Structure 1
Amino acid sequence: MKVGVIFTKFMFLTWFDSNSWLLEIGGKRILIDPWLVGSLIFSNLDWLFKGSRSQNRPIPDNIDLILLSQGLEDHTHPPTLKLLDHNIKVVASPNAAKVVQQLGYTQVTTLAHGETFTLNNQVEIKAFPGSPIGPTLVENSYLLKELESDLTVYYEPHGYHSPEVKQAAPIDLVITPFIDMTLPLLGPIIKGQNSALEVVKSLQPQVIIPTAAGGDVTFEGLLMKFIQTKGSAEEFRSLLEKNNLATRVLEPKPGDRFELPLEKRALAI
């Protein structure tokens, strides 16, 4: 006779605003898309777009891995990366890998779509297609798995979810935007509500957490006059309820380390 056994596995997360996360999983500390110091400016064009916060975030200690999803400055932020230890292992999209290699990082692994990297036999990271950047470049999203427990985390910071990720369902935690950001004529920069709803339906996560918006950040510049935003975490909760989806929505506070318990189900005889 097979009996369902439920046990709880814990992980820790810290959100540093925007798309910057510290994920503690499998006994490892993984820093994702870090922007911790200075302003966020694309191609030195501060008149076009500039992100600022009231104070810098502290540089986390004992980082085992830096994980970079895209090569643009809001994911591969040069002022932050210059301050971090260049001997820390880096896993990056091909575009992001070029940036950190130019900065002098010594242990850089480039992951193309479908490729995997294993950190100390404890955490497996698999790259999937993520956000399109221009007409030809598609950056990375990531599936992280704690090998001892099979605890899984899926991260896609712009809401572009590849159908290939469905093969990994069900996922324990999804980190992706809830808010839509659109430029007239050019289309969506970030796909939020509907994209997040579809990924909940396909991946069946226990918990979903927003990224890419909110926090202690102010944005200015010419581009902000044209960007249109829509959606909120509360609206997304309502959307889940209307679709009879049990996934929990959590909203972390910037800088706060929090513990996330997740149930794992196994079968025993």
Structure 2
Amino acid sequence: MSTRTAVSDAYVVAWRNIVKIKRVPDLLVFTTLSPIMFVLLFAYVFGGAIGQGGNAQEYREFLMAGIFTQTVIFGATITGAALAEDLKKGVIDRFRSLPMAPSAVLTGRTVADVANNVIVLVVMSLTGLLVGWRIRSSVLEALGAYALLLVFAYAISWIMAWVGMLVPSPEVVNNASFVIIFPLTFIAVTFVPLDTLPGPLQTIAEWNPVSSAAQASRELFGNIPAGTPDPTSWPLQHAALYTLAWSVVILAVFVPLANAQYRRSTSR
């Protein structure tokens, strides 16, 4: 099949998954209410605690980039769960019976989840503005932060696509993803400054790509608190570049792996 046909087929699959967001009330509620809950919970619970001995407003601005990063990564897990569900229900078998490019199924699914993450970021940004978060940089820098988050989440969604093709149960995909992603998003500079972590965890956080994604977004939004020392590790000194490099590596590894696993899963 030609590249044009593959792109067209991927668009159709992506549109099918985007329409599903609107037509499945549970998914729509999760997409919109969960980000609001995260912002309010972290802003007022953690923000209130920090405010006991510091500046709660400053912490909320520091916090938002971390919440953005964590939420879009967790949003990428929808890819794996949805693919496992389609495989379990026989939807993938129906796709195989159609004259369409095999790569369109995974590409369309991952692209649709970018659209889902766009909705999440819009809702979270509006909620963040209500609790006092402000973008203190230029429009282009802010758009760059959003774009970087979406690119990184898109790369993570291909890992989840591989897991979804490997594990035939949506429940197992969700549980496995949570066990791996949850510590990665907390052993990072998502919610607390690097110098508050114990020594060994600082080293992990410095090289954790989740840290660099949060750090780069924070810098692009202009939300680095006054008096914050400059990072001493290369990944955090070049946070945007490090995040993009990780995204490229993940895509280079997991796009072929996910497609190969798709062929194996559908040939059973």
Tell me if TM exceeds 0.5.
Answer: no
Task: Please identify which structure carries the higher strand content.
Answer: 1
Task: Please identify which structure carries the higher helix content.
Answer: 2
1 or 2 for the larger relative contact order (CA 8 Å, sep ≥6)? 2
